[in-house]
Amino acid sequence: MKLLVQVIATMLAFTLCVATRTLAQGFPTKPVRMVIGYPPGGGADTLGRILAPKLTERWPHPVVLDNRPGASGNIGAELVAKATPDGYTLLIMTLSHAVGAGLYPQLPFHPADSFSGVTLIGATTLVFVTHPASPFKSVKDVIAAAKARPGQLSFGSSGVGGSPHLAGELLKLQTGIDIAHVPYKGTGLSITDLLGGHIPLLMGALPGLLPHLKSGKMRGLGVTSIKRSPSVPDIPTIAEQGVPGYEVQHWFGILAPAKTDPKRIGWLHDELVAVLRMRDVAQAFNSAGADPVTDTPREFDAYLRSEIARWTKVVRAAGVKPE
């Protein structure tokens, strides 16, 4: 009987806690949709599937993930930009969102002005990989082969204008090599072709590639971070392989439509930060090859604008054009 009373008391306390958080904002009174502008299997999708159940546990209504792939994330971004600014439609986006500002000058939305930042949620590295049967054992090998045979090598990515594509273009700019880019409609398809031996090289976000690296189905040649990743410590950085100063951090964040009530943005921010600070969530992120990262809505807005400025310069210097 005493145990039953304790269980009931715990349930009531949990219900009261949820009700208090909800009533403070009158939110949410229906499911919250998190749009992912990429197909299942990529980094944004992986992290979204870690966060959604945890938020659902805290809220009286579920968080529903909605994959809307296409145009390097722009289809999903446009959907959110034009959604009612009430906090019920959010966008899980990546560095590719900032890249698109320089690549697509006629977007039906502005990558910064059309959104309100909620928070960064994570950061990871990109990885330059090859098939384990490939003759390439390092980035140095690739550079040497590319210089010996200009234009004859190729690398795949999740699509034109995505951060993996631009990381490859930055590598080409800093080394003076000529490697053809092969765009795919999502990370999953590019992985399939690499594993099938249809492309020799692939640049992709670590969360999507980590299972294949761990299983030995892929060989990691170099990571784009300035330091080695704790998830794959045996893979050297590209910078330490004769490309000094090379660095690309692949980050993930959550945006809401512009003009969303700042109080609701603040509430969403606090809820996300609370989840990201959970030990099991941090472990799940780390297992996926990412680190939880948070900042304030204002800091995220400023960071997004700075990344737009940086990658617009790279797009123009590399002469990258949309498909």
Give the domain ranges of the chain.
1-26, 27-123+253-318, 125-241
**Paired tokens of 274:** 């609370």
Phi-psi domain of 291 (left: phi exceeds 0; alpha: psi -120 through 50; beta: other) = beta
CA dihedral 238, 187, 104, 51 (to 10 degrees): -100
Alpha-helical segments (H) within the chain: 2-25, 43-58, 74-81, 95-103, 139-148, 163-175, 187-195, 206-215, 262-276, 279-287, 297-318
In the prediction, which pLDDT does 103 show?
87
* pTM of the predicted protein model: 0.79
Residue 315 is encoded by which pair of tokens? 């797009």
Residues 6+ positions from 135 with CB-CB distance below 8 Å: 141
Helices and strands (DSSP H and E) totals, the chain:
11, 10
CATH number of the domain at 125-241, out of 3.40.50.460, 3.90.78.10, 3.40.190.10, 3.40.50.720? 3.40.190.10
The predicted pLDDT at position 16 comes to 42
The dihedrals phi and psi of 255, each to the nearest 5 degrees, come to -120, 150
The whole-angstrom separation of Cα 47 and Cα 253 is: 10
The pLDDT value recorded for residue 25 is: 55
pLDDT reported for residue 9: 47
Tokens of 239: 């910078």
Report residues of the chain scoring pLDDT below 70: 1-25
226, two tokens: 């300035």
Give yes or no on whether 27-123+253-318 and 125-241 have one common fold: yes
Q: What's the rounded Cα separation, in Å, for the pair 155 and 216?
A: 19
Task: Please report the pLDDT score of residue 109 as a whole number.
Answer: 96
Second CATH level (architecture) for the domain 27-123+253-318: 3-Layer(aba) Sandwich (3.40)
Among 9, 90, 96, CA closest to 52: 90
